[in-house]
Structure 1
Amino acid sequence: MKPSDKKILIIGAGVIGSIYAVNLSNAGYSVTMLARSRRLTELEEKGLTFYNNKTQSLDRTHVEIINKLYDNDIYDYVFVTVRYEQIEDTLLGIKNNCSLNVVTMVNNPFGYDKWGEIVGKEKIIPAFPGAGGKIENGVLYYKLTSRIIQPTTFGELSGEKSTRITELYKILKSAGFPVSICNNMDSWQKSHLAMVIPMANAIYFDGGNNYSTAKNLQAIRNMSLSLKENFNFLKSVGVIITPTKLSIFRVCPTCFLSFLLKFIYKTKFAETLISNHANNAKYEMELLSNDFEELAKEKCISLKYLYPRVHEFT
């Protein structure tokens, strides 16, 4: 397979979409980005500009920029990299497109039935990115996460290792992404939300960023308690915690977990992969928190620490 033989469309030109566009384009794939509004103008004027961590200088990669997708525009893979509140409208906008593989790189607490009803369940490849960063003055600054921390993860709804999943694995790996195939993406995404919601809420509780949160002992303790509660909830309703290493949040003593989180929040890693997104996607995280709470209520479980307040812990 020659990279140039594969056509890839990325819907959503924010941080995540731009990261995947840069690496895939630099690996030789034919990449098109569907962009809107200010980001569309920015890309048309400046191109996809990024900070090259290897050369420590600004660089630019070639991608085609479009603002409309036609039904007969065929791509081998369509990556949807929008926010949670945008996903259904985005899928409605492409439901008649004839491309067969739609990679949804979006948080999801409720499963994929509704998305499948819109574009066809057979098209959906649930996925989640392993990267983070920011866009400043039209320049993308980013970092990929290691395979140990969080690789780009995806899989079939059925859990089978299909031909297209194997091909997608090779494509992403050849573009430099740490990758992992998961046979239960529904459990993976629920587990991921159980983790990231408290991590974002701790920053909102503090009112600052990861560095100030690291100094806020109440915010750190709130986060630890919420993490333990969320993962205990998932286990109690039969959700397989995926990957299994996330079980550490359930079994780890609160005092040690708080110590570990305090250390992590002092790092550039936390700034790039936690704080930047949390502070730029507050509405998305609020919706996800609400829906995760709704998921618990459906099982008659109340999550006491999902929205912690200081008086609850004093």
Structure 2
Amino acid sequence: MSAKQDRILIFGAGVIGSMYAMKLIEAGFDVTLFAHSKRFKSLSENGLQYTEKGSVKSIQVKVIDTLENDDIYDFIFVTVRYDRSESALLALKDNQSKHIVTMTSNSIGFSSWLDIVGDRLLPAFPGFGGQIKDGVLHARFLPKFIMVTVFGEINGEVTERIENLAKLFKTAKLPYVIKKDMQAYLITHSVSDIAMLSVLQSENKIIDKKRIGTRKTARQITATLKAYLLAIQKAGVSIDPPMLKMVLKFPNLFLDLFFMTWLRTKMVRDMMLPDYANNANNEIEQLSHDLMKFLNQNDVKSEKHLQSYFC
């Protein structure tokens, strides 16, 4: 498989989609971005703008706002938020591309996604973050030991398409890990997102800057994270990454201090900006709703665990 032969569609031109587009274009792949409204206009007129060493640069990218069913790609990356994932897959249902890579969280499993796109589904999770401000991508790369792109077949097998996707990431010099249990990984990741990002909104508005770094807010994260880790474990989910199992053994005070420190970082201040906080809240609400549904399906009542940690 060579870069010149691969056609890649990135369905969603937000932060994650833009970052993968930039890296894959630089690696020589034939990349197309699917975008709507203002983002489509900005990409068409200005290219994909991004910051590098304090200056704004631009890279040309093919961009579309309509996808024909016979417009076939080797891989389609779905890079929308979880609350928009089902509508994105419905939009791709009749497209004839064989491999659809969902780059998002999932707190309930893959049955509804499989109902839409069948065995074309290949679950994954992105390996970086950032923001788009005034049409310009501000990338945030974390150390490899903290975050890399993760993907794998639902049944855990290392298939030909997994190997081809691995080659794609290797060519683009994007670190990756192949997982045997993507459902466990994504549910665990959803739990950490729910715990850490749900604090951005309080009483239907963005939390006050004075409250964000308090012990009370940190304890909310500690309690929620421990409660839901216990709950998914009881539901038969293997906590992944395994190091999160250590969270269940750490004293609440230790975790409170850790989260208080994190809540006072520039990363969290950026996450409190209205666009990010409101979008994150929509995603967290959907993840929370589906996680509760998953737990109830497995006869786990997580509220009891929550009550035991709020103290």
Q: How does 1:49-88 map to 2 (within 5 A)?
A: 49-52=49-52, 55-88=53-86
Structure 1 residues 43 and 196 mapped into 2: Cα distance closer, same or farther (>3 Å)?
Answer: same
How many aligned residue pairs are there? Answer: 307
Whether the 8 Å contact between 1:125 and 1:156 is mirrored in structure 2 is yes
Distance 1:201 1:79 in 2: 26
> 2:196: which partner in 1?
199
Runs of 4+ in 1 over 6 A off after TM superposition: 305-308
Distance 1:295 1:118 in 2: 19
> 2:124: which partner in 1?
127
Q: How does 1:219-298 map to 2 (within 5 A)?
A: 219-270=217-268, 277-298=276-297
Structure 1 residues 279 and 168 mapped into 2: Cα distance closer, same or farther (>3 Å)?
Answer: same
Whether the 8 Å contact between 2:213 and 2:261 is mirrored in structure 1 is no
Whether the 8 Å contact between 2:223 and 2:310 is mirrored in structure 1 is no
Distance 2:63 2:49 in 1: 13
Aligned-partner residue type, residue 219 of structure 2: R
Could you tell me how far 1:279 is from its partner in structure 2?
Answer: 4.3
Moved more, 283-292 or 8-17: 283-292
**TM-score (norm: length of structure 1):** 0.90
Aligned-partner residue type, residue 70 of structure 1: E
> Is structure 2 residue 303 aligned with structure 1 residue 304?
yes
Q: Return the match for 2:171 from 171, 174, 192.
A: 174
Could you tell me how far 1:96 is from its partner in structure 2?
Answer: 1.6
Q: How does 1:37-186 map to 2 (within 5 A)?
A: 37-52=37-52, 55-121=53-119, 123-186=120-183
Whether the 8 Å contact between 1:70 and 1:97 is mirrored in structure 2 is yes
Could you tell me how far 1:73 is from its partner in structure 2?
Answer: 0.9
> 1:7: which partner in 2?
7
**TM-score (norm: length of structure 2):** 0.91
Moved more, 11-20 or 109-118: 109-118
SS in 1 for 2:301: coil
Whether the 8 Å contact between 1:31 and 1:63 is mirrored in structure 2 is yes
Aligned-residue RMSD, C-alpha: 2.4
Whether the 8 Å contact between 1:293 and 1:306 is mirrored in structure 2 is no
Whether the 8 Å contact between 1:146 and 1:178 is mirrored in structure 2 is no
Whether the 8 Å contact between 2:235 and 2:299 is mirrored in structure 1 is no
Whether the 8 Å contact between 1:233 and 1:296 is mirrored in structure 2 is yes
Q: Return the match for 2:185 from 174, 183, 188.
A: 188
Could you tell me how far 1:94 is from its partner in structure 2?
Answer: 1.4
> 1:18: which partner in 2?
18
Whether the 8 Å contact between 2:152 and 2:181 is mirrored in structure 1 is yes
Whether the 8 Å contact between 1:109 and 1:190 is mirrored in structure 2 is yes
Distance 1:271 1:239 in 2: 32
SS in 2 for 1:69: coil
Per-residue CA shift, 1:171-218, capped at 9, x if unaligned?
A: 123323221110000000110011110101122249657975552211
Q: Give aligned-pair identity as a percent.
A: 35
Gaps of at least 5 residues in structure 1 are: none
SS in 2 for 1:202: helix
Moved more, 290-299 or 34-43: 290-299
Moved more, 202-211 or 282-291: 202-211
Distance 1:210 1:231 in 2: 28
Distance 2:252 2:135 in 1: 41
Whether the 8 Å contact between 1:225 and 1:305 is mirrored in structure 2 is no
Whether the 8 Å contact between 2:223 and 2:306 is mirrored in structure 1 is no
Could you tell me how far 1:149 is from its partner in structure 2?
Answer: 0.9
Whether the 8 Å contact between 1:144 and 1:177 is mirrored in structure 2 is no
SS in 2 for 1:111: coil
Structure 1 residues 213 and 304 mapped into 2: Cα distance closer, same or farther (>3 Å)?
Answer: farther
Distance 1:188 1:234 in 2: 11
SS in 2 for 1:281: helix
